[in-house]
A and B are shown apart, each in its own frame.
Chain A
Amino acid sequence: MSLVLGIESSCDETGVGIVRDGRLLGDCLSSSMEQHIRFGGVVPEVAARAHLEAMVPTVREAVDRAGVSLSDVDAVAVTSGPGLATALQVGLAAAKGYAVALGVPLLGVHHLAGHVAADTLEHGALPERSVALVVSGGHTSLLLLGDLARDPIVHLGDTADDAAGEAFDKVARLLDLGYPGGPAIQRAAEAGDPEAIRFPRPTTGRFGFSFSGLKTAVARWVQRHDGPLPVADLAASFQEAVVDVLTAKAVDACTSHGVDTLVIAGGVAANSRLREVAEERCAAAGVTLRVPSPRLCTDNGAMIAAVGSMLTDAGAPWSRLDMSTDPSAPLTGALLSVTR
């Protein structure tokens, strides 16, 4: 029975969640997205300034919504990596401040483990073994999971270049659809034909990904095209290529490893076409699909509290107060407590 405060600040969202025994009691999100739009991407210094301003008000609001008191908190979990260095520093320092003031354990956790853990808040504990596809603006990984809090995480495949979400951003910019690209492409694709243009499905190895070439293929197509661009068809066809390759490999990973559960998490998991195609293919392969609701797919604090709750239950060691951020941390386990 433990109440965990989770803090996320790896990119442009200041997220705070309160979880008790795997159940989300309340959370709050403060985004600096609006401040980055005109720059076409997240500016680290702008994000870090916003985290500092938002941190305490966001914690206060999350605690209020959860109907608990800060003095009830049993542990503080925080994203210590990967992410933007200056942004991570704010969340980690805040988490240390809360942990010291409240006299409770500090747990540094891996951001991507948080994305996977978000699903447990809505769909309960993960089975003994599962495959996770984590797709976001910074990451695209196919993972073989055991007990998320205890076992090492096995990478089946990763992207060789751009993350899937990054490809959405770049193609959206190419098509003048604005930033962030994910929602923009999805909106534009609604009126388009996904079969209109057959873009390549680049891959590296059986479970690896590559999206840089796909982005270039869209760019070349646009450049060669005369007259007004069929933006809806381009968006739909690009999105289809990404979704096709992601879902095909994820389902293949499940069947070839004898795993009956696929978890799709991360910001790109909020994409409705990805959810739709994954649902069809998983059903056909006899695989149970688990995807968090869209608001828990994008960065948030609830997912960090969820990992913290699992780690606390598993008796994970406390992180030291001198722990560092790890902006480029590889995903090997849920706990990420690096001291330099």
Chain B
Amino acid sequence: MLTLVIDTSTPAVTAGVYEVSGPGAVERLADGAVVDARGHGEHLAPLIDGALAEARVAPRDLAAVVAGLGPGPFTGLRVGLVTAASMSHALGVPAYGVCSLDAVGFAAAGGGGPVLVATDARRKEIYWGLYDSDGERLAGPEVARPAELPEAARAATRVVGDGALLYPEVFPDAKDEWRYPPPQVLAFLASGRIAAKAPGEVLTPLYLRRPDVHVAGRQQRMT
């Protein structure tokens, strides 16, 4: 089943096309990413168009759309989710959401103890999740200052994700690997639902923060 994958939860604007032939059976046809933290709106549609063309897949041949639900900076994250939702609607195919950190955690798992995944939440904070050696999430997703992570998260034996690289003083051992959610892993994590033709889902973003607003008072009287 031809599946389009979209993730815009990190500076890597990502799209890919995969053949999902069963739970856990995912073949890459084409994918691409552009790293541009302020360019999700500009890069995503051309990346989708390009991946479909490279895979020689017409949009109407798609059977499912998978989107990374974040957490991620709001504006970019919404670009991916509304694109996935509108394409799913236009094509009449189900959309499935996957926590974007899960894709990084699954990809980086193995090799012993738990893995901490950290992506950039801006404002001196990170989005984080903790994963066991099978890639199962143990804690998170949450948002926090790197130096204020809970004890459990700090017990991780490895730290991955582009958020970790931003804070070398807190994560001196962070490796430049698995910086962004790999789209093929997003497809893999949704492959059970895709193969089972599970009902489509509303793609609800993992914002993890409330909007910054304050209630305005009465306008000041001028003197």
Contacts and interface: CB of A to CB of B under 8 A. Distances in A.
B97 to A, nearest CB: 13
The size class of the interface chain B forms with chain A is: 35 or more
Contact of A93 (B46, B79, B222): B79
Given A45-B212, A45-B213, A339-B42, A174 B86 contact: no
Most-contacted residue by chain B among A48, A52, A100, A323 (CB, 10 A): A100
A60 B59 CA distance: 19
Given A48-B74, A322-B45, A174 B219 contact: yes
Interface string A41-56: 1010110110110011
Interface string B47-63: 01100100000111000
Nearest to B210: A45
Interface residues of A, number: 48
B90 A101 contact: yes
A38 B211 contact: no
Interface string B192-222: 0000000000000101000111111011011
Contact of B86 (A46, A98, A216, A222): A98
Interface string A196-226: 0000000000000000000010011011000
Given A46-B211, A60-B89, A322 B78 contact: no
A188 interface: no
B121 interface: no
Given A89-B41, A324-B42, A94 B223 contact: no
A89 B75 contact: yes
B82 A321 contact: no
Contacts of B213: 39, 43, 45-46
B88 to A, nearest CB: 8
Contacts of A98: 86-87, 89-90
Contacts of A41: 216
A176 interface: yes
Contact of A48 (B42, B75, B88): B75
B117 interface: no
B126 interface: no
Contact of B44 (A40, A93, A103, A340): A93
A46 B74 CA distance: 11
A13 to B, nearest CB: 16
A222 B84 CA distance: 52
Contacts of A176: 218
Contacts of A219: 219, 221-222
Nearest to B90: A101
A10 interface: no
Contacts of A48: 74-75, 78
A70 interface: yes
A38 B215 CA distance: 6
A322 B42 contact: yes
A153 B34 CA distance: 37
Contacts of A173: 216, 218-219
Contact of A97 (B84, B205, B219): B84
A321 B45 contact: yes
A102 B90 CA distance: 7
Nearest to A70: B90
B83 interface: yes
Nearest to B85: A56
A59 interface: yes
Interface string A83-103: 001100110111111111111
B42 A97 contact: no
B26 interface: no
Contact of A322 (B43, B79, B223): B43
Given A98-B89, A103-B60, 10 more contacts: A38-B215, A45-B213, A48-B74, A97-B82, A97-B85, A98-B90, A99-B45, A102-B90, A103-B59, A219-B221
9 contacts: A51-B78, A52-B205, A56-B86, A56-B88, A93-B45, A99-B45, A173-B218, A174-B219, A322-B45
